[in-house]
Amino acid sequence: MAATIDHDAELAKAGAGVEGKWGGFLYFCRRYPLGAAGGVISLLFVLAAIFADVIAPQDPLTTNAAASLAGPSPSNMMGADMMGRDVYSRIIHGARISLAVGIGSTLLGGLLGMIIGLMSGYLLGWFDLIMQRIIDIMQALPLLVMALVMAASLGPSLENTIIAISIPLVPQVARVIRSNTLSLREMPFVEAAQALGMSEFRIAIRHILPNTMAPFIVLATAQLSSAILTEASLSFLGLGIPEPHPSWGRMLSESAAEYVRTAPWLVIFPGIAISLAVFGTNLLGDAIRDLLDPRQRN
């Protein structure tokens, strides 16, 4: 009898946990419908990037002279480019590159900015003074301009593009983490940890860093769309992902000037892909910001 009661209690607890998860998901969809729509768009791009080899009907690098500049048809859903490559397959595989660059540069820039901001806000002194002057210099240049300088210095490749975009993302993250660290280091729980004899490193990592994750997540989702758009801009200018890798910006660069009138699908479909990716991540980022901000709650 006792075993039966325990088993029923475990089932009830598991059911309550599942109901709570679904309830939170439904609450998010009802409260932030635009954020939910952005999440769906972002999820579609993620799935397209993961299963690109399965979804894409053709090899994005295979050329076919007979299908050069072919319009949308059953064999080429979004037409073909000047070399006969399937535009739909290239857009699907381009999602993999755009998300890899966007997520990679956001994580790398966010990690560097978090380390600098945490150390600058907690240690203060000469380290804070020097780092803030460096950040002031970096913030004097717009994101795209600094990314252009870095990409031109490093050269066009996937790894160099991630580095070129991540460096301009560091100052904003560092400033946000530093401002939160300055307020957190004066909190009573930090003073209690110091009174207990904890080391400064342990206090910073165990007590201050976890409390800065909410603004970091909000900032990272906002910067993801900027990173995707910057990668497309660099590729459009010939400083991003090199040929023959499919990149949305590179696809626009190859066709925007010469084929915009005779083959408009070469411009329309990559432009729609870039717009949807940026639009979806922006909507999701705004919803996450409102969800994590206590001032936005009723």
DSSP 247: -
**Structure tokens belonging to residue 105:** 């540069």
Residue range 204-217: mean pLDDT, rounded: 78
Return the SS3 of 269.
Answer: helix
Return the SS3 of 86.
Answer: strand
Rounded-to-integer distance, Cα 294 and Cα 285, Å = 16
The whole-chain average pLDDT of the chain stands at: 79
What residue spans define the domains of the chain? 1-31, 45-296
Least confident of 6-10, 121-125, 212-216: 6-10
DSSP assignment string, 148-208: HHHHHHH-SSHHHHHHHHHHHHHHHHHHHHHHHHHHHTTSHHHHHHHHTT--HHHHIIIII
Q: Using alpha carbons only, how large is the chain's radius of gyration in Å?
A: 24
Determine whether domain 45-296 maps to CATH 1.10.3720.10. Answer: yes
DSSP assignment string, 56-82: -SS-TT---GGGTTPPS-SSSTT-B-T
Rounded-to-integer distance, Cα 164 and Cα 158, Å = 10
Rounded-to-integer distance, Cα 241 and Cα 77, Å = 24
Per-residue confidence (pLDDT) for residue 294, from 0 to 100: 54
Least confident of 79-93, 175-189, 190-204: 190-204
Rounded-to-integer distance, Cα 239 and Cα 161, Å = 8
DSSP assignment string, 89-123: HHHHHHHHHHHHHHHHHHHHHHHHHHHHHHHHHHH
Asked whether 77 and 88 are in contact (CB, 8 A), the reply is: yes
- H or E element, residue 235: helix 213-236
Rounded-to-integer distance, Cα 24 and Cα 11, Å = 20
Per-residue confidence (pLDDT) for residue 20, from 0 to 100: 55
Torsion angle, alpha carbons of 13, 16, 18, 19, to 10: 170
Per-residue confidence (pLDDT) for residue 234, from 0 to 100: 85
Bridge partners of 86, per DSSP, are 80
Work out the number of other CB atoms within 10 angstroms of the CB of residue 57. 11
- For 42-82, what is each residue's pLDDT tens digit? 889 889 888 888 888 888 888 888 777 777 888 778 878 88
Report if pTM > 0.85.
Answer: no
Asked whether 274 and 227 are in contact (CB, 8 A), the reply is: no
pLDDT at residue 252 is higher than 60: yes
DSSP 295: G
Per-residue confidence (pLDDT) for residue 3, from 0 to 100: 44
pLDDT band at 297 (very low <50, low <70, confident <90, very high): low
Per-residue confidence (pLDDT) for residue 177, from 0 to 100: 86
**Structure tokens belonging to residue 279:** 């639009």
Q: Which residue has the tokens 């910001």?
A: 289
Q: Which residue has the higher pLDDT, 4 or 176?
A: 176
